[in-house]
Structure 1
Amino acid sequence: MGHREDLLEGAKRCLLAKGFMRTTARDIVKESGTNLASIGYHYGSKDALLAQAYVALVEGMGDAFEGDGGLDETRPGSLERFERVWSNIVGTMREPGSLWRLSMEIVVLGDRLPEVRDHLAAAQREAGRGLVPLLMGGREEDVSDDTADTLGMFYVTLMTGLIAQWTFDPKSAPDGSHLAAGLRQVMDAATGGAP
């Protein structure tokens, strides 16, 4: 690996160990075996590097969202698929030292770190684009911008709310079955059925 990759890997480890605000450039350099000048040269700033490291960590969760391969047994777009995917996602929130606690730190800091906020705002659309085929089937590259901005953002909003609830009070936070039951009630009400 070169310095760029070493820095990214070191920044990921620092984020998981210390969080965003407590990670210093020197921490990253120590963890990556590089030097301070490399951060500016390859990423522009420590915050830009940490933002990219965070996005890389989240992207690495994709396999966990799919679970043990049981998604193939469910019809894309079905309530069963919805429940299974969200159960898998919630499973990642239950793990000790969950990456999602870091997400809440970054959300709260957004207005104080405009460079990070702008980088992560752009990544949100792509996160939605990735969630659509997971839940609805198909390929990520076929998800239109309009679908990413509507259905994808619906899923991202649901994810952000879940992260907040699991961070704040894991004992009362919903799991996939609760979310599927709630969605079923919304669908029943929308089609004229009883809630």
Structure 2
Amino acid sequence: MGNREDLLAGARRCLEEKGWARTSVRDISAASGGVSMAAIGYHFGSREALLTAALIEAIDEWGNRLGRTLGAFGEAGNSPRERYEAMWAAIIGSFSSERMLWLATLEALLQAEHSQELRHYLAGGQAQGRRGLAAVLCGTSEDEVDEAIARTLGAAQMALFTGVMTQWLTDPDQAPTAAEVVGGLHALTSLVEDRASSGPDGNSA
């Protein structure tokens, strides 16, 4: 690997072991096998840009694994609801197996309050995340997801993802299961459809 790839690998190790806030450029240099700290600026521009790139790379790899798992589940002839619940089971499982990765995303969001540069990087990552989640749900590639689907289906799924993630990272014993997430979404959909079919006075339109 070259210096750029070594730095990305080192940054990922630091995120997994130390988290976002406690990772310094010196830590990344050491974890990358001694690549100079100056190389971070040369290849990425800043510590924040490098850590963001490493975070996005890690989440992309996780998303690809999730997509392969769901693809195999769909080929087994399961219903869309069963497939969606299986997706949530895999997501929730990652809150334990990939705990440091998801904690790092929350740390990055907090740090972005004090860094316009970091906020810019994370905004790009969120746009990519919306498209990626929509692609997983639609069983297609990200290139085939149009902007309207990314900003509706993808954005709604990301909102659910972030909310369930914070519950699991805070209190896993009380956090919702995959079945409860799907059941709650079904109940919400039914409520919205019922309200939409009624007039402002609560009667049928």
Tell me whether the two structures share a fold, i.e. TM-score over 0.5. yes
CA RMSD of aligned residues (A): 1.8
1:129 aligns with 2:163: no
Give, in whole Å, the separation in 2 of the partners of 1:185 and 1:130: 25
1:151 aligns with 2:143: no
- Any residues of structure 2 matched to 1:74-93 within 5 Å, and which? 74-75=78-79, 78-93=80-95
CA-CA distance at 1:20 after TM superposition: 1.1
Runs of 5+ unmatched residues, structure 1: none
* Structure with larger Rg: 2
Q: 2:167 aligns with which of 165, 170, 173?
A: 165
- Any residues of structure 2 matched to 1:39-54 within 5 Å, and which? 39-54=40-55
CA-CA distance at 1:107 after TM superposition: 2.0
CA-CA distance at 1:60 after TM superposition: 1.5
Give, in whole Å, the separation in 2 of the partners of 1:99 and 1:64: 15
Give, in whole Å, the separation in 2 of the partners of 1:81 and 1:52: 30
| Change over 3 Å in CA distance of 1:169–1:11 after alignment to 2 | same
Give, in whole Å, the separation in 2 of the partners of 1:127 and 1:74: 25
Which amino acid letter does the alignment assign opposite residue 93 of structure 1? F
After TM superposition, the structure 1 stretch with the greater mean CA deviation from structure 2, 181-190 or 10-19, is: 181-190
CA-CA distance at 1:97 after TM superposition: 4.2
Percent of aligned positions that are identical: 36
Paired residue secondary structure (2:113): helix
Q: Which residue of 2 aligns with 1:70?
A: 73
Tell me how many residue pairs correspond in the alignment. 191
Give, in whole Å, the separation in 1 of the partners of 2:190 and 2:98: 36
Note if contact 1:133-1:140 (Cα within 8 Å) is conserved in structure 2.
yes
Paired residue secondary structure (1:61): helix
Q: Which residue of 1 aligns with 2:39?
A: 38
Q: 2:105 aligns with which of 103, 106, 109?
A: 103
| Change over 3 Å in CA distance of 1:24–1:98 after alignment to 2 | closer
Give, in whole Å, the separation in 1 of the partners of 2:85 and 2:109: 26
Paired residue secondary structure (1:20): coil
Q: Which residue of 2 aligns with 1:180?
A: 182
Runs of 5+ unmatched residues, structure 2: 196-205
CA-CA distance at 1:96 after TM superposition: 6.6
CA-CA distance at 1:164 after TM superposition: 0.9
Which amino acid letter does the alignment assign opposite residue 40 of structure 1? G
Paired residue secondary structure (2:22): coil
Note if contact 2:20-2:107 (Cα within 8 Å) is conserved in structure 1.
yes
Note if contact 1:51-1:119 (Cα within 8 Å) is conserved in structure 2.
yes
- Any residues of structure 2 matched to 1:16-27 within 5 Å, and which? 16-27=16-27
Q: Which residue of 2 aligns with 1:56?
A: 57
| Change over 3 Å in CA distance of 1:93–1:179 after alignment to 2 | same
Give, in whole Å, the separation in 2 of the partners of 1:51 and 1:41: 16
CA-CA distance at 1:110 after TM superposition: 1.9
| Change over 3 Å in CA distance of 1:98–1:40 after alignment to 2 | closer
